[in-house]
Amino acid sequence: MNTPSTKGKLSLIVAAFASVALVACTSATAPDPTSKADSVETPHWPTLQSPIIYAEEDKAFVADLVARMSTEQKVGQLMQAEIQTITPAEARQYHIGSILNGGGSVPNRQAAATARDWAVFAQSFYDATATSENGEVAIPVLWGTDAVHGHGNLIGATIFPHNIGLGAANNVELMTRIGEVTAREVRASGIEWIFAPTVAVARNDRWGRTYESYSEHPNRVASLGAALVTGMQGKPGTPSFLDESHTLASVKHYLGDGGTTGGDDQGDTAVSEADLIRLHAPGYFSTLDAGALTVMASFSSWNGDKMHGNRYLLNDILRDKLDFNGFVVGDWNGHGQLPGCTNDSCFQTVNAGLDLVMVPYDWKAMYANTLAQVLAGNITESRLNEAVSRILLVKKQLGLFNGKGPLERELGGNNTVVGSEAHRDVARQAVRESLVLLKNNNRTLPIAANANVLVAGDGANDLAKQSGGWTVTWQGTGTQQADYVGATSILQGFEQAMSAAGGNVTYSAQGEYATKPDVAVVVFGEDPYAEGQGDINTLEFSPGKHETLTLLKQLQADGIPVVSVFLSGRPLWVTPYINASDAFVAAWLPGSEAQGIADVLVGDSSSDPVYDFTGTLAFSWPKTPLQDTLNVGDDNYDPLFAYGYGLTYAKGKTVAQLDEDVSGVAGEGVQDIALYAGRPLQPFNVFLNNSQRDQIFSGAFAQLPDGTVTVETTDKDIQEDALLVTFKQDWMSGLFIAGGQLDLSPFYPNGALEFDIRIDDMEKGRLDVILDCNINCRNMIAMRDWAVEKQGKGWQQVSIPMHCMLENAEHGKQVQRAFTLRTGGDGRFALANVHFRREASVPAEQQIQCPANIATQPDTLNEYWAVDWWMPRHNEKVAQAQQGTAKLVMIGDSITHGWEGDGKSVWERYFGDIDTLNLGFGGDRTENVLWRLRHGELGNVKPDLVMLMIGTNNTGHRFDDPTRIRDGVAAILDELALQVPDAQVVIQAIFPRSAQPDDELRVNNNQANVLLKALAKERQVEFIDFGKAFLTKDGVLTNEVMPDLLHPKEDGYDIWAKQIEPIIQQYVK
């Protein structure tokens, strides 16, 4: 590798914007460089000089490559594909320029993959693309990853505080070390490129990416962003620049992503050009000066123009004014949002100045379309060559053409580098320095190391909550403690700190204790999220849900000093919580080394500090929930705690009682409940299941061991905000969302269950929506007909009235499994945005309509597995009934149907001489029997005896309430009385099912049998119940009698025959 030389320093104007590491302001009245005074002046972009000068031999090398490349090879270099959608062979075949792994995406879908496993995977792509056949140009692929606070996708990696915490620390030297550590761990996994730093200046704290911003202040962002670039890449002009222990950085998201109206992720930044320069550009001035060689375009718009298509900013400013000479990469399908573009076709973005197109899934189509557009002249050859040359020059600086693959490089595959003690020490220091002390009345902190401490709150022992999004998975959800290898929880940090000096820690998430503690530390805050899934409507913390506040007040009422440790990705309105605390610490999202919190909060045995607080607010703290745009230097700036605020042990003060009576506070009424909004929202998890097992969905992909159900993330509105579900070859499978008990009674009857769904394939599949209201309570809406009709028609909003899902409010009080999509057969659909709404978001006429009682509504058996045979069998039985000779009619489901299968020899032995019409149909429920009877299955028959057994599928398929089964059987009796009035009708009790007497399906059938017995007496027909004959003396049903605990085998049919033989002999003449 030829080390690029370094040009002269930037002009004074750049230094004023970005090059100085600023000390945090200490008050709102301090002079502030974000003053609006310059916003009325003519926009002025500084003219910069890149610190990178490419060596002439490097430029000649790249020029030679480009001259020898075919158009197909050049187009391939513009494509960046996600690792789950491409193989090494395909990367070679299509000459792919780059690959990436999205959040939660790991090699070979192995979540526990080590650094060496990653490097081996990387080596496979290198080997495929770095060698050539037939004299073709060979260009190694470049791999990029979102290591935004450490290598978060790699199990066991060092996880640093998110940027909002690092902004509070405001330590440039520390930031450089963090960049170095992150680069080393990423290099150990074989990856060369990190999509960081984010230099967004978040100006509205409702934005879901606020925690990815260092500060609301552009100067703090500029200094810290530049330091991280230096740490990751090394210093331009030195031998270590982009060597094998450093990575390529990517400055993002260009430009203005932190300034969108309303904090809308991917929204519009409606500001003047002067304000764009003043507020949002300084981070680019500083990081380009630090030698950043890639810039990522933003999803957002500037005054209505999407950045992926903004030639003025991508080319005229970035290239001509700022002298950027690396390449511009897109964000996840961001090009698809341009007018006239789709995810797989967008020559406009290339012409605007984007060089490498991030097209995770549709890269093959994008490749083909882009190639056609080049050949058609939509993209000129000069523009194509320009983009390719930029990419190849950066690859050359990175050493990709040096002949060494990922496993052959200095750190490649070295597991000991990842999460090393030295690395974790850096992260622990970052945690200590990120903490901001908002309140410390009565010198509650530090805690004496020999004290008796109660640690409480849902965040105290939750590694996901303390780490936030972009950790293990994209959203940081769907994980388990074991996924955070080597990490230390906040609770564990306190236990370690206290035990060393003879102190004691009692842990209770609910704050329970036997012996009154000296002090209580309560850890709480936001649950994990990332990007747009974290956008919120109010800055009030946990609106309408105040369990933690109640705990704080109770502890204070008990005379226990309370220390609150608040975990969040942004400042939030928590005034009542601060008032209910003696000390309050903003801990942000500290990551894996939470011992750093106890380092500062726990003193020595005399309560003297071991470490003092040094962190200051990089974001102003709101006085009301409505202060989402609260930034130092703004007009009418009125925070609760100003930018730069932060108490210390050395310089503390008493914080008086704060005013809680402010506008914008949510009432105590019932709030909508979101189960899945881009991610499962706490405490919910997504599970995939079939008839054999349930499996939690974690990361971006999960599959049952037998392959019957696959769930993976996909895109609806933004990156990976939906789930793609594929099911096959199982009679009962699907997906459900659960996570603790829910009270849905307030949603009855006027609320709605709502979700978005896209039906890709349902021709041979089944789809039911189920709510398991509580024990022995389930309601189902059959959606197959609707799904088949909507197949291939894109995303649909489904709204189901809650009176369809609940019989009454009481049934909604203890819901265990609130949402299930049950499937069967073969099919595929995508799901997003699952909510319970207080009020439906669509008019009643657009909602799914539900019948009063499905069991009494005649219908065919519209199941995927019955399509081929059910109607032909019906037609066969109609023809048989027309003969009118049968003396005995047997009506039922698969169990009765089985007299023609496993029970055939038994039937022949006992009743072979009786002219019988078997109307048993596998899978039938009461409504199906009713339909068949009304469509000719009794024909001209005048039977002596009709024996009816139906209802077990009403229970098994949709867990009908026993009263519904009774009503369905009553409707069948009405039909029999009408068509065969002279026949003796005998109702057979529904057979026992499931092994144990207390199984919910057996219990439901038993309850139905009680009602059927009463119905028989009322209708003056006979009722027989011999279910006990199938059971052991303990009421157990064995596989010897019914192998699947539902259908008899031959021995079971023999038991049945003996029980009904006297009845048949009595009535059949």
The predicted-structure confidence for 445-496, as pLDDT tens digits, reads as follows 999 999 999 999 999 999 999 999 999 998 898 889 999 999 999 999 999 9
Q: Which residues pair with 820 in a beta bridge?
A: 736, 770
Q: Is the pLDDT of residue 789 over 90?
A: yes
Q: Is the pLDDT of residue 22 over 70?
A: no
Residue 210 pLDDT class (50, 70, 90 cuts): very high
The predicted structure's pLDDT at residue 1039: 93
Question: 607-621, 731-745, 763-777: which has the highest mean pLDDT?
Answer: 607-621
For CA atoms 893, 898, 903, 909, the dihedral sign is: positive
Give the mean pLDDT of 746-758: 95
Q: Is the pLDDT of residue 852 over 70?
A: no
The predicted structure's pLDDT at residue 595: 98
Residue 9 pLDDT class (50, 70, 90 cuts): very low
Tell me the C-alpha to C-alpha distance, in Å, between residue 743 and each of 65, 670, 685, 776, 1001: 65, 10, 17, 16, 23
Residue 702 pLDDT class (50, 70, 90 cuts): confident
The predicted structure's pLDDT at residue 358: 98
The predicted structure's pLDDT at residue 24: 33
Give the mean pLDDT of 597-625: 97
Q: Which of 146, 212, 243, 531 is catalytic?
A: 531
Residue 779 pLDDT class (50, 70, 90 cuts): confident
The predicted structure's pLDDT at residue 776: 58
The predicted structure's pLDDT at residue 13: 35
The predicted structure's pLDDT at residue 4: 57
Residue 41 pLDDT class (50, 70, 90 cuts): low
What is the C-alpha separation between 577 and 563, in angstroms, rounded?
Answer: 10
Tell me the C-alpha to C-alpha distance, in Å, between residue 369 and each of 23, 343, 362, 755: 51, 11, 11, 34
Q: Are 226 and 284 in contact (CB under 8 A)?
A: no
Sort 1007 into a burial class: Cβ within 10 Å, 0-12 / 13-18 / 19+.
middle
Q: Is the peptide bond before 543 cis (omega within 30 degrees of 0)?
A: no
What is the C-alpha separation between 220 and 223, in angstroms, rounded?
Answer: 5
Q: Is the pLDDT of residue 811 over 90?
A: no
The predicted structure's pLDDT at residue 648: 98
| Predicted TM-score of the model (pTM) | 0.77
Phi-psi region of 702 (alpha: psi -120 to 50; beta: other; left: phi over 0): beta
What percentage of the chain carries pLDDT values higher than 70? 95
Q: Which of 331, 483, 582, 754 is catalytic?
A: 331
The predicted structure's pLDDT at residue 682: 74
For 838-930, where are the E strands, in sequence order?
888-892, 916-920
More reliable by pLDDT, 524 or 691:
524
Q: Is the peptide bond before 874 cis (omega within 30 degrees of 0)?
A: no
Residue 780 pLDDT class (50, 70, 90 cuts): confident
Give the mean pLDDT of 623-630: 97
Q: Is the pLDDT of residue 772 over 90?
A: no
pLDDT, tens digit, 9 for 90 and up, residues 976-1004 = 999 999 999 999 999 999 999 998 889 99
The question of whether 331 is a catalytic residue gets the answer: yes
More reliable by pLDDT, 854 or 839:
839
> Mean pLDDT across the chain, nearest whole number?
93
286-309 per-residue burial string, b: 16 or more CB within 10 A, e: under 16: bbbbbbbbbbbbbbbbbeebbbbb
More reliable by pLDDT, 419 or 12:
419
The predicted structure's pLDDT at residue 15: 40
The predicted structure's pLDDT at residue 500: 86
Residue 17 pLDDT class (50, 70, 90 cuts): very low
- DSSP character at residue 637: -
More reliable by pLDDT, 778 or 499:
499
What is the C-alpha separation between 979 and 972, in angstroms, rounded?
Answer: 11
Tell me how crowded residue 650 is: count the other CB atoms within 10 A of its CB: 8
For 312-414, where are the E strands, in sequence order?
327-329, 357-358
The predicted structure's pLDDT at residue 28: 33
Sort 359 into a burial class: Cβ within 10 Å, 0-12 / 13-18 / 19+.
buried
Q: Are 824 and 727 in contact (CB under 8 A)?
A: yes
The predicted structure's pLDDT at residue 14: 39
Q: Which residues pair with 919 in a beta bridge?
A: 891
- DSSP character at residue 240: T
The predicted structure's pLDDT at residue 851: 64
Q: Which helix (H) or strand (E) holds 126?
A: helix 115-129
What is the C-alpha separation between 863 and 767, in angstroms, rounded?
Answer: 9
What's phi and psi for 719, nearest 5 deg?
Answer: -55, 125
**CA neighbor of 281 nearest in space, from 258, 309, 263, 264:** 258
Residue whose pair of structure tokens reads 């169990």 in the numeric block: 895
Q: Is the pLDDT of residue 35 over 60?
A: no
Which tokens belong to 358?
A: 């991030």
Tell me how crowded residue 320 is: count the other CB atoms within 10 A of its CB: 11
What is the C-alpha separation between 542 and 546, in angstroms, rounded?
Answer: 7
SS3 314: helix
Which tokens belong to 30?
A: 């301090």
Q: Is the pLDDT of residue 705 over 90?
A: no
Q: Is the pLDDT of residue 33 over 60?
A: no
Q: Is the pLDDT of residue 8 over 80?
A: no
The predicted structure's pLDDT at residue 774: 63
Sort 964 into a burial class: Cβ within 10 Å, 0-12 / 13-18 / 19+.
buried
Domains (ranges, CATH) in the chain? 70-417 (3.20.20.300), 442-660 (3.40.50.1700), 673-850 (2.60.120.430), 864-1067 (3.40.50.1110)
The question of whether 927 is a catalytic residue gets the answer: no
What is the C-alpha separation between 689 and 619, in angstroms, rounded?
Answer: 44
Residue 699 pLDDT class (50, 70, 90 cuts): confident
The predicted structure's pLDDT at residue 933: 97
Residue 596 pLDDT class (50, 70, 90 cuts): very high
